[in-house]
Structure 1
Amino acid sequence: MSESKELPEHSSTIVYTPAADAVSSQLNQNDDEIRKWLEENNISEVECLVPDMTGNARGKFIPAHQFLSRSDLKLPESIMVQTVTGEYTDEHWDFVEPTDTDMLLVADPKTLRKVPWAREPTAQVIADCYRASGEPHPLSSRNVLKHVLALYEAAGLRAQVAPEVEFFLVQKNTDPDYELMPPKGRSGRREVARMSFSIDAVAEFEDFVEDMYDFADEQALSVDTLIHENGAAQLEINFNHGDPLDMADQVFVFKRTVRETAQRHGMYATFMAKPMQKEPGSALHIHQSILSVETGENIFNGEDGEPTAELMNYIAGLQRYTPDLISFYAPNVNSYRRLAPDISAPINLSWGYDNRTTAFRVPDSSPDNRRVENRFPGADANPYLAIAASLASGLLGLKGKLQPTAPHQGTANDDNVEVARSLEEAVRRLNGNAELAQVMDDLFLRAYAAVKLDEFEEFNRVISSWEREHLLLQV
């Protein structure tokens, strides 16, 4: 096994792409590939998409002929620092130009897909964001992940990940004052019992499932198995393992696909971490393994078929840096309702072999497939940032040769809570860590913290029904 190279020294900007002239060259090269694909598929309209800080799609609808003739596709950079409600923080102008300048968009032809639910032949393509100078825009969550992957490459390593995405189907709810409830299945009844891995429970939503798989196939999404999870009308899709950027793109597209499919069938699909009080939360588990670029071998597997020191270093990195990065795994005020004792989600930094109560699980597998599953991220997480944070933590563990705790025996949820219990607490831990600033751009970390603190303060101004019920006449 080759020895990993040292990480490059930290720079205040993301530096893996050349300047403006190279961006223009890339535009021309991409345009030729995109033009051919659009013409071959008789596309009349293009959705040019940019994942924002929440992981949702921003962008423009453009007629195909205009898309091909434009060399200056742009979006205002301010959209990258909007809160989930569309507001701006008081520190807004600390992160973008006061003139609200434009970002240059460069469509990535590898992300070209048809939009199977569109009326007209429509394509979708994910674009990378650049400053006018040609630098990758540091506020782009896709660029954050690309930067982490470039650090892996510089260290002679290549990451692979396999996401697992959970979500709920719910009855359409147009009044937020009413609690959510499961939709009626084909039997005309709602689920009320725990139906983990039930084939018949999945069959209740057979039409939805069939359309979802058809849409996924049309978009070349590498979805693998589907199961019914523990919650009422809660499903989970497992993806095959692959390149982290490609898998983040696929999760981004998949979440749009599931929402659109549910709407077709008179339901909502939600990726909230904890949408209902009496139901379990929804996760975005991330399985990850690391390969040596030189040998192509999994560095978590030794020549004797046993776990390696590198696996221990990687797990230790996850343990060390998760408390500071927890807001990337739990990015919303609702996220922390999932990370609670006595619920099937991690609450501390334990790890173990094939132990689903721990935060970091090493599943039972063949030696070549040895991997670590990070069970912290919620389904509401931005997949680019959740994957970037997990890989960055592991890389720092490898670099520092950190040592983990002993593998946990028994039920880890019986132990103490070791992570933040609110978005405010989580975000206040994000900044001030020089090691994290080495692998995740400092400007992005500060902007993310400002946006999330603003969301917390906005939520904190809402008076809940619990307060009215228990405090109105009692205090």
Structure 2
Amino acid sequence: MSNFDYLTSWLKERKITEVECLISDLTGIARGKISPTSKFVLEKGMRLPESVLLQTVTGDYVEDEVYYRLLDPADIDMFCRPDPCAVFLVPWAIEPTAQVIHDTYDKQGNPIEISPRNILKKVLRLYADRGWKPVVAPEMEFYLTKRCEDPDLPLQAPVGRSGRQETGRQSFSIDAANEFDPLFEDMYDWCEAQGLDLDTLIHEEGTAQMEINFRHGDPLHLADQILVFKRTMREAALKHNVAATFMAKPMTGEPGSAMHLHQSVLDQQGQSIFSNADGSMSELFMHHVGGLQKYIPEVLPLFAPNVNSFRRFQPDTSAPVNVEWGEENRTVGLRVPDSDAQNRRVENRLAGADANPYLAISASLLCGYIGMVEQLSPSAPVQGRGYERRNLRLPLSLEAALERMENCRDLEPYLGQKFITGYVAVKRAEQENYNRVISSWEREFLMLSV
């Protein structure tokens, strides 16, 4: 049975009448078409304008000079083929519906270079070519808020079962998480129906801030799951008349939301290459950390993709502000959790919850890979508080980070010049769009004072 025959059988067994055909654009937004199952089976995929991949978060496009350099001026279609390993139910839909994530190709059958999912597959091939198998375990933080129709108004904590808004910091509080039990029951039911590998639910530090942990597994499958989970979480929240947001910093005075990435690497026998036979840290592990330290600042826009993302990195915001590393240390960007030798891993704490999961996972694994190939050495591990360390600081703004990424020639052989140019152009267009908006801070403090 071919892969597509398997997918057809899967849809038929579940009496699916509608298929949401999805791809991820550079910003992490799911784009595509909704098709009757009969048409989906007949066409074996879909066609989309390749320009979809260069849309900004506001729906605009990059400047013409870049657009026509990267894309055909006739705005031609790309060919999107469904991945039978990336099919999920849509439990909140009225009719039996499935969502199928697609890969993108040009007319000659070549993978589209600026597709986020293709970038991750490209990085995973680098590992496979050396007999290595990376494993990741993402942690997704997000806020529940009152629904708010006016974007000029600050977000507020929602009202829970008790009829009261949450106040103060409630880290790891069971009762505070239970305030939203009906919502999370739906979320867990829907995720189970979709086969998402969820682990634990945690109340995080912020007011009505939560965290969902995923079980460790294949990076591509987990990136797919995060794309689906974000849709699922938003739908569950809307059903209960609240909102779920994955903005990196949605509320003034509250901690930001991250996508922490635990990553390790196995050999072909399933043994960790991060540990020696005696259980100590291997040279490959140290090189992996060295690569993360050297190259994360060069690809920071893949972890912090929006203007808002950089608000997480301000002082006293509970987020790491450097690429220092340390064992059991949450004040540095790269934490090595306490574990046995087989489960030794590094936790990249720098990615925001707003990052495209395909690109954030790609970047994190790529930085570690280059470190192992180039045999890079890390700095000395940090003992104690690491927030004040300034030697390995990150770029402080999206503009500075984009310039650094654009000028890093070491990345081109891996990510491709076309992808780097397209990604930087999309983010610069978003930055220019943001610069045109007059903020409430300006109205409050400048309107009658200067």
TM normalised by structure 2 equals 0.98
1:352 is the counterpart of 2:333: no
1:374 is the counterpart of 2:348: yes
1:389 is the counterpart of 2:363: yes
How many percent identity over aligned positions?
52
Rounded Cα–Cα distance in structure 2 between residues aligned with 1:244 and 1:437: 22
Offset, 1:95: 1.4
Letter in 2 for 1:122: T
Contact 1:144–1:441, Cα closer than 8 Å, also in 2: no
Offset, 1:164: 0.2
SS at 2:289 equivalent = helix
Where has structure 1 moved over 4 Å in runs of 4 or more? Answer: none
Letter in 2 for 1:43: I
SS at 1:145 equivalent = helix
Show the 5 A alignment for 1:59-458: 59-71=32-44, 73-90=46-63, 91-293=66-268, 295-416=269-390, 418-458=393-433
Letter in 2 for 1:455: E
Rounded Cα–Cα distance in structure 2 between residues aligned with 1:383 and 1:352: 25
* Equivalent residue pairs, number: 447
Contact 2:327–2:337, Cα closer than 8 Å, also in 1: yes
Rounded Cα–Cα distance in structure 1 between residues aligned with 2:293 and 2:389: 15
Rounded Cα–Cα distance in structure 2 between residues aligned with 1:45 and 1:472: 52
Offset, 1:29: 3.1
2:29 pairs with one of 56, 68, 73: 56
Letter in 2 for 1:127: H
Offset, 1:30: 3.0
1:13 equivalent in structure 2: none
1:68-112: per-residue Cα shift (whole Å, max 9, x none)? Answer: 111462000001001110001112222111011101011001111
Rounded Cα–Cα distance in structure 2 between residues aligned with 1:209 and 1:440: 38
1:176-212: per-residue Cα shift (whole Å, max 9, x none)? Answer: 0100001000000001110000000011000011110
Unaligned runs of 5+ in 1: 1-27
Contact 1:129–1:137, Cα closer than 8 Å, also in 2: yes
Rounded Cα–Cα distance in structure 1 between residues aligned with 2:4 and 2:128: 27
Letter in 2 for 1:182: A
Offset, 1:414: 2.1
Rounded Cα–Cα distance in structure 1 between residues aligned with 2:446 and 2:145: 31
Offset, 1:472: 3.1
Letter in 1 for 2:41: L
Rounded Cα–Cα distance in structure 2 between residues aligned with 1:423 and 1:456: 8
SS at 2:387 equivalent = helix
Rounded Cα–Cα distance in structure 2 between residues aligned with 1:71 and 1:311: 43
SS at 1:421 equivalent = coil
Letter in 2 for 1:446: T
Rounded Cα–Cα distance in structure 2 between residues aligned with 1:248 and 1:72: 21
Offset, 1:468: 2.5
1:9-28: per-residue Cα shift (whole Å, max 9, x none)? Answer: xxxxxxxxxxxxxxxxxxx9
SS at 2:299 equivalent = helix
Rounded Cα–Cα distance in structure 1 between residues aligned with 2:322 and 2:67: 34
Rounded Cα–Cα distance in structure 1 between residues aligned with 2:151 and 2:419: 32
SS at 1:213 equivalent = helix
1:336-387: per-residue Cα shift (whole Å, max 9, x none)? Answer: 0011111111111210001000100000111111000000000000000000
Offset, 1:462: 1.4
Letter in 2 for 1:103: M
TM normalised by structure 1 equals 0.93
SS at 2:85 equivalent = helix
Contact 2:152–2:440, Cα closer than 8 Å, also in 1: no
Rounded Cα–Cα distance in structure 2 between residues aligned with 1:389 and 1:169: 28
Change (3 A) 1:72 1:224: closer
Rounded Cα–Cα distance in structure 1 between residues aligned with 2:443 and 2:40: 53
Show the 5 A alignment for 1:5-84: 29-71=2-44, 73-84=46-57
Offset, 1:474: 3.7
Offset, 1:60: 0.6
SS at 2:186 equivalent = helix
Rounded Cα–Cα distance in structure 1 between residues aligned with 2:411 and 2:131: 20
Rounded Cα–Cα distance in structure 2 between residues aligned with 1:473 and 1:64: 59
Rounded Cα–Cα distance in structure 1 between residues aligned with 2:104 and 2:91: 26
Unaligned runs of 5+ in 2: none
Rounded Cα–Cα distance in structure 1 between residues aligned with 2:239 and 2:445: 40
More moved, 271-280 vs 408-417? 408-417
Contact 1:313–1:404, Cα closer than 8 Å, also in 2: yes
1:108-146: per-residue Cα shift (whole Å, max 9, x none)? Answer: 011111110000111111000000110001111000000
